[in-house]
Amino acid sequence: MSQVQARFFTENKKYLIDDVPFSIPAASEVADLSGVINKLLEAKNDGHKHVEFDFLVRGQFLRTSLASHMEKENISTEEVVEIEYVEKFTAPQPEECIMHDDWISSVEADSEWILTGSYDKTARIWSMEGKAVMTVAGHTDVVKDVAWVKRNGLSSLLLTASLDQTIMLWEWNSERNKVEARHCCRGHAGSVDTVAVDPTRTKFCSGSWDKMLKIWSAVPTVEEDEIEEPNRPRKKQKTEQMGLTRTPLMTFSGHNEAVSSVLWVDAEELCSASWDHTIRLWDAETGEQKSTLTGSKVFNSISYSPLCRRLASGSTDRHVRLWDPRSKDGSLVLLSLTSHNGWVTAVRWSPSHEHQLVSGSLDNVVKLWDTRSCKAPLYDLAAHEDKILCVDWTENGLILSGGADNKLYTYRYSTCVSDAGA
């Protein structure tokens, strides 16, 4: 078998070629095919510039020669092979390296600002250029997770969860550059490891080492929630600077071990991952447990993509696993992405691309994955010198990762317009 009949197609109007089958050598690889397409495009329109393409055969990226790929995927070589080509994803370009004083436990960026939580008990706000804007200090212990709530013109609301068993709701005015603690959410009996704000931006959920999930209101008020504490006068003084005490709206119990990660699937549905080897889905209104996905290892992190409706989980082994949260019996792994050498501590789906996700691991490498090529990641981002504890991916194409080497790396990742449209 030396020649294969192939028909090339693409979704991208810019790179359309004639819909005729070609006979191409079976041993040709991605670069050869890319050359073929470029030749065809040059012949078609003169002003064509050389573009690197990537090829998909039946939804799987071509990584080896065409012949071996087809043999592995069990594709008949007798028929005409349909090969889709997309513009090759360019490698993420490193942008900034933001130094912290201590380990970075969490990161969340929106379109303008980067919020990081650190082991030096503070959260920090950075501009996209890596300039330190604000230090949010108030916790008495390590900040484990941070989250933006919403932006109202110049004032923003943000959340920090800490090992000191509290979550604090801060209001930050970017013009005056002042941060004010609005509420201190008390109620957990263990370190609060994760917070997630719901899509309506009025509530948030927290997961803690004490095995509980709690839902709190994210709307700042001027009144303090009623709490029954015998030694209240002593606390009063403390709460002046810590913000008004807030109590949870709801508490979900059901996990047998610490909750490590929580997220909102939509406005009514919550998803939490735990050290008890389960991912549980909850009804946020009633607090009922809807279904359970059971794994075999401790879950460190989960992420949900509304584009492909898949959950990605990172656990205390080397694999990133994809789950379907709607499956009822729920212990079926759709796909395992295996390339890391240590625990996967953080996973995050691309907000704009349904096939792409990043994962950070204890082996100091951030990997950028495409689910269509599950054997090998698209790119390894090996900038960190120590454990990676958090990753994030913003809507404007910025990948962020922070870890135990006190550095926050940002990468610019330009997803192709064509692909984003597809």
Interface with another protein by CB under 8 A: which residues?
103, 105, 119, 142, 164-165, 189-191, 209-210, 257-258, 275, 296-298, 300, 316-317, 342-343, 362, 387, 389, 404
Q: Are 366 and 381 in contact (CB under 8 A)?
A: yes
Amino acid at site 10: T
| Closer to another protein by Cβ: residue 41 or 143 | 143
| Closer to another protein by Cβ: residue 187 or 325 | 187
Strand order in the sheet with 60-61: 22-25, 3-9, 81-87, 53-57, 60-61
| Closer to another protein by Cβ: residue 242 or 258 | 258
Element (H, E) at 241: helix 232-242
| Closer to another protein by Cβ: residue 22 or 299 | 299
Among positive and negative, which fits the CA dihedral 218, 222, 228, 233? positive
Please state the closest distance from residue 343 (CB atom) to another protein, in A: 6
The half-sphere exposure of 345 on its side-chain side, counting CA atoms within 13 A, is 23
Please tell me the distance from the alpha carbon of residue 237 to that of residue 82, in angstroms, as a whole number. Answer: 71
Please state the closest distance from residue 25 (CB atom) to another protein, in A: 42
Q: How many helices and strands, by DSSP H and E, does the chain display? A: 4, 34
Please state the closest distance from residue 346 (CB atom) to another protein, in A: 12
Burial group, residue 387, by CB count within 10 angstroms (0-12, 13-18, 19+): middle
Please tell me the distance from the alpha carbon of residue 296 to that of residue 160, in angstroms, as a whole number. Answer: 30
Please state the closest distance from residue 402 (CB atom) to another protein, in A: 12
| Closer to another protein by Cβ: residue 120 or 419 | 120
Would you state the structure tokens that stand for residue 319, as one six-digit string? 């694999």
Please state the closest distance from residue 70 (CB atom) to another protein, in A: 33
| Closer to another protein by Cβ: residue 295 or 325 | 295
Amino acid at site 223: E
| Closer to another protein by Cβ: residue 290 or 384 | 384
Please state the closest distance from residue 209 (CB atom) to another protein, in A: 6
Q: Are 153 and 174 in contact (CB under 8 A)?
A: no
Please state the closest distance from residue 75 (CB atom) to another protein, in A: 33
